[in-house]
Structure 1
Amino acid sequence: MPDRENVAGMRSFEDLVAEAQSADVSGWGFSWLDGRAIEARPSWGYAELLARRLAGAERALDLDTGGGEVVNEATVLPRTMIVTEAWPPNAVRARQTLGARGVSVVDVDAGVSRLPFGDAMFDLVTARHPVRPNWSEVHRVLRRGGTYFAQHVGPASAFELIEYFLGPLPEEIRAGRDPQREADDARSAGLTVERLLTARCRMEFFDVGAVVWILRKCVWWVPGFSIGRYDTQLRELDEMMRSGESFVAHSTRHLITARRPAS
């Protein structure tokens, strides 16, 4: 566990917030939080499992790749490796990260349903925390016998933190991203779901700067977040954390493996 006295020390609320506001939030890495927050990971080890599948693929597509960090962890990449990203700063980071390895980074428009690829192009489609899985498109771009392998965000993930700022959310929002419902949607699109695992993981934040940074990065958690708008809640958090109490939340994840039938 980090030494919380070293994290915040005698630095003021204003200093911690200003530092978090000026820090880079592009890409999909979280090293800025080292020593300031922790999150347990699902037991299955997605990055390692992904690397094994990429090493055995010929043509692979990674959806919503962020800055390409997870794909880049794989030692061996397929002969044809393509990634998509909708947020321009992340796409720039992905090109910097993956370009030298011959990976094609394709910019896509957020909210556009059709993928810019031909039918049956890939034997492997992957995603780590996709914005919204489009099962009919996954089915379309997969070759017969091809596999979709992904780790999705689950229902009510980090909601302790989200509801601290927004207040209680409706049950239909809390129940979104349900793994069984997503598996049913995949089946309805013609895929065979071969594996579905779920996990609930503990998160802890040790200083208010860590909270500000994560809300700047995950902008959909608290839409319209700003320091001025949530000054009171942030100062209450800061006071709590200076007393030695961390803020605890829980992330939810599910691992899904689905296949387009060979016949």
Structure 2
Amino acid sequence: MEKDQAFYDFIKDGNRAFKGWDFSFLTETGRTSSNVLSWSYGSMAIPLTRNTDCMLDMGTGGGEFLSLLHPLSANVFATEGYGPNVAIAKARLEPLGVQVTFIEDDNNLPFADNQFSLILNRHESYSPFELRRILNKHGVFLTQQVGGSDCSEINKALGVPVNGEFSEWNLQLVTKELENHDFQILFAKEEFPVTRFYDIGALIYYLHAISWQVPGFSVTKYEHKLFDIHQDIQKNGYFEARQHRFIVKARKI
């Protein structure tokens, strides 16, 4: 079937550059929407940040979330493993007194034993052993994670297997792993909110940003499948996928 001009216009729009960890280009224009979770990571994090003497934000992205928690304590550190984000995070966070560090290995963090009373982690990998090493006694770890079945409907529509390396990543696995490293689980919950993409450009933009969803993604490689999705959106109004999210609050014992 001949592709319409709207399809190509959306492709061009979806190929624009993604910077930091800011999806407002989609969310603020209503081009995507997601069901709400029954918890708020931010509302759980804020009171913890107000009662800590030294804290770490793992995987800070461009520092978007951490900067909104200002005022922060005097000793705040942040890590980021994606090189292009580091300069963005430093520009945003260093004026607030945050020390930003580029890291490449979760198993070898450049921090002292027992350094932190709080570690925040939103959608970032980590090593339970390193968490235990750098947290002080009764230190708290708060993490919200993306589960292994996240948006698997996208992979199915494009004819791509879900990333097998993370397919078993879920709440049960994480809580058991933390308990095995002498953490007490204070709160844990897992949910599967639905997200909708209202045009194919929004989905393309998302796939460029979330590069691990479909490794090696390009419009050229998947153009025919993308056009099939575009047609479904034109017919139904949206393309729908299930997110996979879970949150854990744990204390070192």
Q: Which category of TM-score, normalised to the shorter sequence, fits these structures? A: over 0.9
* 2:78 counterpart of 1:94: no
Please tell me whether residue 80 in structure 1 is matched to residue 75 in structure 2: yes
Matched, 1:176 2:158: no
Residue identity opposite 2:197 in structure 1: F
Q: Indicate which of 217, 220, 223 corresponds to 2:212.
A: 220
Equivalent residue, structure 2, for 1:7: none
CA contact (8 A) 2:170 2:246 kept: no
90, 98, 103: which one aligns with 1:103 = 98
CA distance 1:225–1:120, change in 2 (3 Å): same
Contact 1:64/1:86 (CA < 8 Å) preserved in 2? yes
- Please tell me the residue identity of whatever aligns with 1:54: T
1:147-158 to 2 correspondences below 5 Å? 147-158=140-151
Identity value in percent: 26
* Superposition RMSD in Å: 1.8
Counterpart contact for 1:47–1:73, Cα < 8 Å: no
Corresponding residue for 1:241?
233
Flag structure 1 segments of 5+ consecutive residues without an equivalent. Answer: 1-9
- TM normalised by structure 2 equals 0.92
One-letter code of the match for 1:108?
Answer: I
Superposition map of 1:120-139 within 5 A: 120-130=114-124, 132-139=125-132
Check if 1:16 corresponds to 2:17: no
Classify the secondary structure of the residue corresponding to 2:145: strand
Instruction: Tell me, yes or no, if structure 1 residue 30 matches structure 2 residue 18.
Output: no
Q: Which 4+ runs in 1 deviate beyond 3 A?
A: 166-170, 172-175
SS state at 1:43 partner:
coil
Aligned match for 2:252, one of 233, 239, 260: 260
- Residue type at the aligned position of 2:58: L
How many residues matched?
Answer: 248
TM-score, normalised to structure 1, is 0.89
1:140 equivalent to 2:133? Answer: yes
* Corresponding residue number in structure 2 for 1:66: 61
Residues 54 and 76 in structure 1, CA contact (< 8 A), matched pair in contact too: no
How far residue 94 of structure 1 moved from its aligned partner, in angstroms, is 1.1
Structure 2 residue 226 is matched with structure 1 residue 207 = no
The alignment partner of 1:52 has SS state of: helix
Conserved 8 A contact 2:106-2:127: no
1:11–1:76 distance in 2 versus 1, CA, 3 Å: farther
1:140 partner amino acid? R
CA deviation after TM superposition for structure 1 residue 175, in Å: 4.1
Is the CA contact 2:155–2:162 (under 8 Å) kept in the aligned structure 1? no
Distance apart, 1:169 and its partner CA: 4.2
What is the match of residue 118 of structure 1? 112
CA-CA distance at 1:173 after TM superposition: 5.5
How far off its partner does 1:12 sit? 2.1
Is the deviation greater in 173-182 or in 227-236?
173-182
Q: Is the 8 A contact 1:166 1:222 kept in 2?
A: no
Task: Report SS of the residue matched to 1:243.
Answer: helix
One-letter amino acid of the structure 2 residue matched with residue 141 of structure 1:
I
Relative to 1, partners in 2 of residues 1:11 and 1:48: Cα closer, same or farther, differing over 3 Å?
farther
Report what 2:155 is aligned to: 162
The whole-number CA distance in structure 2 between the counterparts of 1:155 and 1:96 is: 32
Which residue is equivalent to 2:187? 195
* CA-CA distance at 1:174 after TM superposition: 7.0
Conserved 8 A contact 1:63-1:127: yes
